[in-house]
Structures are given as C-alpha cells and as structure tokens.
Structure 1
Amino acid sequence: MASTVLIIGGSGRIGRSVALDLLRHTDVTLTLTGRRPQPRFKLEPRQQYRALRLEDQAQVGAAIAAHDLVIHCAGPFRTRDLQVLRQCIEQATPYIDIADSPDYVSEALALSDVAQAAGVSCIVSTGVFPGISNSMVRQGIEQLDSADQVHLSYLVAGSGGAGVTVMRTTFIELQTPFTAKVNGQHVTIQPYSEREVLPFPEPYNQGAGVYWFNTVEALTLAQSFPQLNSVITKFGSLPDAYNRLTGLMTRLPAGWLTSTAVIESLSQISYAMTQVTDRFSGTGIAMRLAIDGQQRGQAARYLATATHPDTAAAAGYGTGSMAQLVLSGQLSRPGVWSVEQALPTSLFEKTLAARGLVINNTICCPQNSEFGGRN
C-alpha cells in the first residue's frame, strides 16, 4: 500500500508546490488541509482535501493518526506553537516542516531528545531558504579542509510565486533586532541593514541589494558548524525598489510593526503590488554562497550559486525531496534536526539531480578578507 502524507497548510502556494513534487517523485496519497470548507483549487489524482483548523487540537491529532508522514506548511511560523510537532512525536509519526522563524526553530530543536527517545525523525526548515541553502553550505564546507566564514545571500523576484503569508513573515521579522555570529562574537544586528550589491547569476545580476535578515540558517549553521567565526545571511528583492520600500518599514514608529492590523495591511498591499510586477520581474530565486577557509594549507574561497525561475517550486523541491527520503527509508534520524544536520550531502546531490536543480560551484583564492560587493 502506498504511504499517506498529511500536508498541513497544503492549500497554500508552498504547500501545493510540495504536493506537486511528491506526486512527481513518489506514489504517495496526499491529504491537503486548509481552513476553508472546500478547496479553491483543482485537486490532482492521489490528492484529497480536508478542512482543518490548527486551533482544534483533537482534529489535528486525528488527522496525524491517519497518515504516515506530516508536512507542516502552515505559516507564519513565528506565530505558531509546537502542538503539531508535539503530537507527531507522541504518535511516533515522522514530521517535516518549512519553518522560517528562528524563534520557532529554536524551540523545536529543544525537543530533539524527546523525539529521539520516541524514535521519530523530525526535520525542520526544509524548503529552499532555509532548506536547500543549508545543504549547500554543508556541501561547500565538506569541499574545504577548514571553513571560517559563511556568507549566504538570496535574491527573490517579485512574490517568488508564494502567497501573502510570505509577506507577513517578512514584515514580522522586521520587528526586532536579532543576534548573529560575526568574527567569533554574537552581535546584535538591525534587520534590513548593511546593504550589499553582490554578483549574482543572470538574469538576477541587476544591481539589486541584499540586506541583513533574521534567518533560520544563521541560527542552525552556527550550531551545526561551531568552527565558523562568522555566519552572514542577507536577503533582497527584485525589482530593487522593493528593497528601498522594505527599508523604510524599519523606520516606522516603534510599535507599528507589532500591530497585527498594520502587518496585515502592509502584507496585502505588498502582495497586490507583486501581482503587477511579477509579470515582468518573474518569480524566481538566486542563491549565492561564499565560504572562506583553507585548502591545502592556503587561503581558499568556495563559491556556489543556484537559480530557479519559480521560488515556490524550488521550495517544493527542498521539502519534497526530504519527504521522499524519509518515506523510502533512506533517511532516518530520530530527533529534531535542521536540514544540514540530518541530510548527508550524497543524498542531497542525488535528489537535486533528479529534479534538475544545478548548483554551480568553484574554489578559488580570495582576493581580500572581505566577501565582496558594493553598497
């Protein structure tokens, strides 16, 4: 009998992308959930829909019990509690999510011993960034004799093909300063600060800036690779005008971005704007990774880039590949883990090759001690 997978939040853009990836690469039967009584999209073969509200813990527990794997795609995760993860651990049902909130992920990772005792594998933040990006870092570190600094940067065109929830997440993460590891010290960073213009692959090399952003990767990579002195994560949008507007949001009066009503209004307005600009900007993503370290006794820099014309589809690749590996038994690691902790590079490369996603990489000698770029 084919495995059954529950995708909580499966009616959203990312959830449906995950479902599509699983339909292409596995023979699973899928249950997609949403808050509405009926879906607003056409169900594919091997898919069914279930109305489910996360506030109803009894119904959530019953839904989990009827499936072999749970994939949690219902963000924004900064406003979520851990009840889905806890119920999966209690029922010994493998769990995967696309969590993009460092606060949520930190609390989830704290349950690793409980999940390990229950013998259940739980993997957090499995999309594209975080997700594929984490594995790119592990892949790069393994190419060097030693690694000292990591600089991860992302450019997303327009809406990225995602829904309004991603807009909410962006504005939520602008609310407060965050901590990052820089030069061996944990320092406080202002969100959307220290603009850099970095060389990205075409067609994303248009002079758009990237900015400090509070990411899961900055949290977990520093934990997974404690030898790193710096973990820098920056994010930007295309067209570049969106970056300027987002930067202005950080200058709003204190308290505005903590208002649910303000967050919702800004998110809806931003999403409406992207529905216009997506027509010429596209919805793709470019990821750029630079790792400074040592190779054969000399300073070396590992550079890697990856692009995809549909950010939401790329997120589906990341989560779908993890689900495929868990369901097939190729990946089993009881506990709660980030992607780079759970996924061996050999399996990462295998699943990406099956999906046609190419990572271009090289090792060179750094020209200077900086990661490069201009303001």
Structure 2
Amino acid sequence: MTQNILIIGGNGKIGRCVARDISQQTEAKVTITGRKSSPYRDFPFLSLDLNDLATIQKTIYNYDLVVHVAGPFHHRDGRVLNCCLEAGVNYIDVSDHRSFHQQAVNYHQLASKAGITAILHTGVFPGISNLMARKGVEMLDTADSIHLYYLVAGSGGAGLTVMRTTFLGLKSPFSVWINGKWEEKSPYTDQEIVNFPHYGNAGVYWFDVAETYTLPQSFPVNTVVTKFGSLPDFYNHLTWISAHRFPSWILQNSIALEGLSRLSLAMAKVTDFWSGIGIAICAEVKGWKDGKKQTCNLEFYHENTSIAVGIGVGSIAQLLLKQEIKQPGVWSVEQIVNSDLFDKIMTERGLKIKASIAPDSE
C-alpha cells in the first residue's frame, strides 16, 4: 500500500525541498500544510494552523509519517509530537534549538511504549552535521573533541523563517561543553578562520545550534564547538553588530525582529547573484586511534542550502519508511543513524562526505 506523509509547514521553501526529496526517493504520497492556501501545485495541500490542536489530532491519524518543518523552533512545544504518539505515527523534525529538544525528549518513555520512532534535528545543520560528527567519532577508537564549522552563502535559498531563526539565535548567551564542563558563550564571538570546501578561508563565530547541546549527550567527548559564518563576509559584521551593538530590546521585540529578518532576506536575495546560495560544513574530530593522537577531518558542500536541508530530512524519512530504522523513543538524529546508513543515503543522492584521518598536529 502507498505510504502517506504529512509535512507540517511544508508550504515554505524548506518544506518544498523536503517534499521533493521524499517524492524522488520513495513511492510515498506527500501532502504539505500551511496556514494559507498554497500557490504551488506540486503536492496536495491542507490548510492547518498549529494552534488548532483538535484539527491536528484528527488530521495526523490519516498518515504514516509526520515531518515537522514549521519553524522557528525556539518557541515551539511538543504538541505535534504528542499528537503523533496518540495516533501511533512516526515523527521527524528540523528542530534546531535546545529549548525544543529539552521539551521533546520528555516524551521518550511514551514513544517507547507506543512503539513510535521520533527523530529530532534532521536537515543540514543540525542533521547532516550531526552525522558527520558521528562518522568522525566512529573513525577513532576514542574521541576527545568535536568541532563543527558551518558556512552559508547569501540567503541559502531559504525564506523568512531561516532569517528569523538567525536573529533569535543572537538574543542571549548559551551554554557550551568545553573541557568537560558547561561554559557560557555569547553568540557571534571568538572568530576562527576555517578553510571550507569550494569557498576557501572564511570567518566563523560561536552560534547556538541543537548539536551544541546534543553531541555532548550522544558521545563521551570533552569539548564540542559549533561556529557559523556567512558569505559575503560583510554579513558577519552586520550580524555581530546586531548581537553586540543593538539595544537589547530590539532582539527581544517581535516587531523589530520581524523587520530585521525581512530586511536581511531582501539584502541576501540581492547578493545571491554573485555569492551563490550554497553551504559548506567542516567537522574536526580529535582523539586516539591505535594508541596515537589522531584528527578526523570531514567536509561537505552543496550548491543550494535549502536543497541540502531537503536531502537531510528526506533521507531520514526514507530510512523510516523502509524500516531501515525502527527504534521506538525520541532521539537526536546522531543517536539513531549509524555511519553505514549515513554513507548509503548520501551515495544514493550522488553526494559524498570527504573524510580523512591524520596524526594530530598539536
């Protein structure tokens, strides 16, 4: 029988990329939702408001898998996940913030008892980045530290939600796992210059993403670093000013934040013409192999960030639909997808994670 997938928030650019990947890689029937009628005719559409809990509950019963891409997730709760548990439907999302993770994992025991597999933080970062970190850990006998660096060109081909998420990430300091203890870091500080595939050297800065919080829980490492940067470089200067020079009330005010997000998206669309909309990720995992200190370096590049998100989500959906993953509970993606499966789903999409291991230079 044809499997049916509901993509909540699928009416946006990210959602449509997810829908396309799933439809290209599986035989499933995809339906997308949004608050407003969709001008796109690629997939069946349902009008759905996340505040209408009764309708969400009624709707989910008709599907085999629910994919939640309606961000930003900074202010989301676990209502969609809970509805999936009540309906006996598997669940995945693109959540990218620790506050949502902390709510979602509270449903772990209920998911286990219900036989439901719920996978959090799929996409590209988090998502592909988490699995790159796991691959690096598995290449070593013992891992000590994970450094993840992300670079996005222009708008990344995404829409307004991604811009909102970026500014929400600048609002307050966050905890990071350094030398076996939690320390507080301010967003967009401590620049590092990293050599990225395709782009070359670029600056990156501390940024609060889900893997900052989940990787120390998933792997026995002493340090996890997550830093993000933009192209062209002047966007980094503007973001730094937003984080450290704007009066604090601007990022706390929803109207001001919306204005900044819309202005930033308009600017990014202009620079897309020469910067492109791609993404590069570098992962550096340090530890020991055969009694020697070693460093694993992993690289990923895609010319379109939004499509990369679609690949990250769609590949996990594919594994669930084919029952190559079946592990009841609520999991961060790196806890449930091993490196063999990761390599398989990337290869099926014509992508490759470049990985190497060498003696530690330090």
Using structure 1 for the length normalisation, give the TM-score: 0.95
Residue 239 of structure 1 is matched in structure 2 by 232
Q: 2:229 aligned with 1:230, yes or no?
A: no
CA contact (8 A) 1:208 1:239 kept: no
CA contact (8 A) 1:123 1:338 kept: yes
Residue 279 of structure 2 is matched in structure 1 by 285
Q: 2:127 aligned with 1:131, yes or no?
A: yes
Q: Which ranges of 4 or more aligned residues in structure 1 deviate by more than 2 Å?
A: none
CA contact (8 A) 2:77 2:103 kept: no
The one of 187, 194, 199 equivalent to 1:198 is 194
Q: 2:156 aligned with 1:156, yes or no?
A: no
Matched letter for residue 38 of structure 2? P
Which stretch shifts more, 358-367 or 263-272? 358-367
Which stretches in structure 1 are left out of the alignment for 5+ residues? Answer: 369-375
Matched letter for residue 327 of structure 1? L
SS at match of 1:20: helix
Q: Distance in 1 between matches of 2:180 and 2:69?
A: 34
CA contact (8 A) 1:196 1:210 kept: yes
Which stretch shifts more, 282-291 or 55-64? 55-64
Q: Distance in 1 between matches of 2:82 and 2:30?
A: 21
Residue 216 of structure 1 is matched in structure 2 by 210
Residue 39 of structure 1 is matched in structure 2 by 38
Matched letter for residue 16 of structure 2? R
Instruction: Tell me the alpha carbon deviations over residues 282-302 of structure 1, each in whole angstroms, 9 at most, x when there is no partner.
Output: 110000011110111111110
Residue 265 of structure 1 is matched in structure 2 by 259
CA contact (8 A) 2:77 2:104 kept: no
Q: Distance in 1 between matches of 2:328 and 2:191?
A: 40
CA contact (8 A) 1:287 1:306 kept: yes
Q: 2:10 aligned with 1:16, yes or no?
A: no
CA contact (8 A) 1:282 1:309 kept: yes
Which stretch shifts more, 267-276 or 255-264? 255-264
Q: Distance in 1 between matches of 2:40 and 2:271?
A: 23
Provide the alpha-carbon RMSD of the alignment. Answer: 0.9
Shift of 1:308: 0.2
Q: Distance in 2 between matches of 1:172 and 1:90?
A: 31
Residue 86 of structure 2 is matched in structure 1 by 90
Q: 2:208 aligned with 1:182, yes or no?
A: no
The one of 71, 77, 101 equivalent to 2:73 is 77
CA contact (8 A) 1:6 1:63 kept: no
Q: 2:348 aligned with 1:349, yes or no?
A: no
CA contact (8 A) 1:293 1:301 kept: yes
Q: Distance in 2 between matches of 1:271 and 1:214?
A: 20
Aligned length: 361
Residue 117 of structure 1 is matched in structure 2 by 113
Matched letter for residue 17 of structure 2? S
Q: Distance in 2 between matches of 1:361 and 1:348?
A: 13
Instruction: Tell me the alpha carbon deviations over residues 160-188 of structure 1, each in whole angstroms, 9 at most, x when there is no partner.
Output: 11111000001011101000001111100
Which stretches in structure 2 are left out of the alignment for 5+ residues? Answer: none
Q: Distance in 1 between matches of 2:183 and 2:88?
A: 38
Q: 2:298 aligned with 1:304, yes or no?
A: yes
SS at match of 2:258: helix
CA contact (8 A) 2:118 2:329 kept: yes
Using structure 2 for the length normalisation, give the TM-score: 0.98
SS at match of 1:31: strand
Instruction: Tell me the alpha carbon deviations over residues 24-68 of structure 1, each in whole angstroms, 9 at most, x when there is no partner.
Output: 1001111100111x212232xxx2001111111111112111111
Shift of 1:118: 1.2
Residue 138 of structure 2 is matched in structure 1 by 142
Shift of 1:272: 0.3
